Amino acid sequence: MHRFSVFLSVVLFFFSSRAYGRPYENDTTKVSCYRKADSLLDEALHFMKKNYYRRDFIQWDDLTSRAKMRLQESNSCEEAYETIGWCFRQLNEQHSFLMPPAKAARYNNDSSHLAAPPLLSELVGEIKGEWLSDSIAYLTIPWVSTTDSLICTAIADSIQATIARLDTRRISRWIIDLRKNSGGNCWPMLAGIGPLLGEGVCGYFVASEQKIPIAYRNGAAFQGKHVLCRVSKEGYRTQCSRKSVIVLTGRKTVSAGEIVALAFKGKEQAWLFGEPTAGMTTANATYSLSDHSMLVLTVCQEADYMGRICQGSILPDKLISLHPGDPAGGDLVRSEAVSWLQRPVMGVPGGGSFENPK
Question: Beta 173-177 vs 200-207: how paired, if at all?
Answer: unpaired
Q: Which whole-number Å values give the CA distances from 91 to 85, 220, 345, in the listed order?
A: 10, 36, 50
Number of Cβ within 10 Å of residue 119's Cβ equals 8
Distance in angstroms (rounded) separating the CA atoms of residues 190 and 306: 17
pLDDT the model gives residue 25: 45
pLDDT the model gives residue 334: 96
pLDDT the model gives residue 324: 64
pLDDT the model gives residue 332: 94
Helix (H, G, I), strand (E, B) or coil at 158: helix
Q: Which value, to the nearest 10 degrees, does the dihedral of the CA atoms of residues 87, 89, 92, 98 take?
A: 70
Q: Are 182 and 254 in contact (CB under 8 A)?
A: yes
pLDDT the model gives residue 34: 84
* Global pTM value: 0.86
pLDDT the model gives residue 330: 74
Q: Are 235 and 160 in contact (CB under 8 A)?
A: yes
pLDDT the model gives residue 126: 97
pLDDT digits (tens, 9 = 90+) for 58-114: 999 999 999 999 998 887 777 999 999 999 999 999 999 999 999 999 999 998 999
Percent helix, strand and coil across the chain, each to the nearest 5:
35, 25, 45
Domains in the chain: boundaries: 13-95, 120-354
pLDDT the model gives residue 13: 30
pLDDT the model gives residue 343: 87
Number of Cβ within 10 Å of residue 346's Cβ equals 7
- Beta-carbon contacts of residue 54 (< 8 Å; ≥ 6 apart): 91
Helix (H, G, I), strand (E, B) or coil at 42: helix
pLDDT the model gives residue 285: 97
In CATH, 120-354 is 3.30.70.20: no
- Segments of the chain scoring below 70 in pLDDT: 1-27, 29-30, 324-329, 345-358
